[in-house]
Amino acid sequence: MEEVKQLTKIVLAWELFEGGVPKKHIAKQVGIHRETVHLWVEGIVNHGLEGFLSLYEQAKKGKRLKRKIDGLLKKRIYRLREDNRYCCGQKIKKYLKDEYGTELGLTTIYKVLGEKYKLRSKWKKNQKRGPVPYAQKPREVIQMDSVDFGEVFAFTGVDIFAKDVSVKLYPSLTSLDGKDFLNHAFETRFKHTELLQTDGGSEFKDQFKQKVHQYTERHRISSPYKKNEQAYIESFNRTLRKECLGWGKYSEKDIPAMNKDLTEYLIYYHTKRAHLSLNLKTPNEVLEEYRVSDF
């Protein structure tokens, strides 16, 4: 009788969840702990309502058997993570389904990853964030920045909606370099934008400013000491270091080898690397959806 009562609670909790009721309110209404609601919902998402109810009944009838993940599947998870620049579990889940037709829950994927890798802690919630530009279509807002690699500087630009990027390496950091990168980024990738945002660095002054309005309606300089206003380009700069060029220092003689790695990475970034903010699509797929052909 108790088991039937629990099954009724599971069904009720799922119906409330589908109706948009927050989990903490579901917990109070059904009379269970909020974490239990979370586990039920996750189980139903992974197995369907009938499948989860069946698994629940089986678990209550006897000793619960641990789900075994065979060695081959683990190797596939590890390979997908390493081949895709140590990407997150959501992307691994997509790649597993795309390449092997295997569907696996995020909890299981992260459990497997935790056996081999030290995973970073979760982002702290409720932190204050500065205002950031907003875009509703490609080419509405472009952000630019530069990254210091010792004697080499990477100029970077990102479309904050489509997440496609342009990068070029220089042995110096001047407004002439900024002007050259501006030409490179817009002639080879962006073409034109409604708003171009940079920080107040010297590389984005003088000769850069003389040229900037050829490619944009408005040039905005972000507020000093508020990196969150440049959140999208700062995020890409971290990705560039983590997945391609690293945190080391380079000399001018290293630029040819760096360019080779960079060229290969940008092809991967635009055509294969799934983005969580793009619903696991690639930047090129988003541009194709919006019929942006000049890339």
Structural domain count, the chain: 3
Domain housing 37: 2-61
Whole-number Å distance between alpha carbons of 116 and 174: 44
What's the order of all strands across the beta sheet hosting 216-221?
165-170, 153-159, 141-148, 193-198, 216-221
Q: Kindly state whether residue 88 falls inside one of the protein's structural domains.
A: yes
| Domain at 248, CATH number | 3.30.420.10
Mark which of 17, 35, 61 sits at the end of a domain: 61
Q: Kindly report, residue by residue over 234-254, the tens digit of the pLDDT.
A: 999 999 999 999 999 999 999
Does residue 104 sit in the same domain as residue 188?
no
Q: Kindly state whether residue 156 falls inside one of the protein's structural domains.
A: yes
Does residue 22 sit in the same domain as residue 107?
no
C-alpha dist (Å) from residue 221 to 41, 166, 187, 205: 45, 19, 22, 10
Whole-number Å distance between alpha carbons of 147 and 132: 20
Does residue 108 sit in the same domain as residue 213?
no
Kindly calculate the radius of gyration of the chain based on its CA atoms and give it in whole angstroms.
24
Q: What is the pTM of this model?
A: 0.69
Whether the predicted pLDDT of 127 surpasses 60: no
pLDDT for residue 169 = 98
Q: Kindly state whether residue 147 falls inside one of the protein's structural domains.
A: yes
Does residue 230 sit in the same domain as residue 173?
yes
Whole-number Å distance between alpha carbons of 184 and 205: 17
Q: Kindly report, residue by residue over 26-70, the tens digit of the pLDDT.
A: 888 888 888 888 888 888 888 888 888 888 887 766 554 455 688
Does residue 236 sit in the same domain as residue 170?
yes
Spatial CB neighbours of 11, under 8 Å, sequence gap ≥ 6: 49, 53
Does residue 189 sit in the same domain as residue 224?
yes
- Mean pLDDT score, 73-78: 92
Q: Kindly report, residue by residue over 172-187, the tens digit of the pLDDT.
A: 999 999 999 999 999 9
Does residue 164 sit in the same domain as residue 256?
yes
Whether the predicted pLDDT of 96 surpasses 80: yes
Does residue 284 sit in the same domain as residue 188?
yes
Does residue 256 sit in the same domain as residue 213?
yes
Q: Kindly state whether residue 134 falls inside one of the protein's structural domains.
A: no
Does residue 261 sit in the same domain as residue 210?
yes
- Mean pLDDT score, 269-286: 95
Q: Kindly state whether residue 121 falls inside one of the protein's structural domains.
A: no
Does residue 205 sit in the same domain as residue 282?
yes
Q: Kindly state whether residue 44 falls inside one of the protein's structural domains.
A: yes
pLDDT for residue 133 = 76
- Mean pLDDT score, 97-126: 82
Does residue 146 sit in the same domain as residue 41?
no
β pairing state of 193-198 and 153-159: unpaired
Whether the predicted pLDDT of 1 surpasses 50: no
Enclosing H/E stretch for 198: strand 193-198
Residue that is written with structure tokens 């081949």 in the block: 83
Whole-number Å distance between alpha carbons of 241 and 233: 12
Adjacent-strand bridge partners of 195: 141, 218
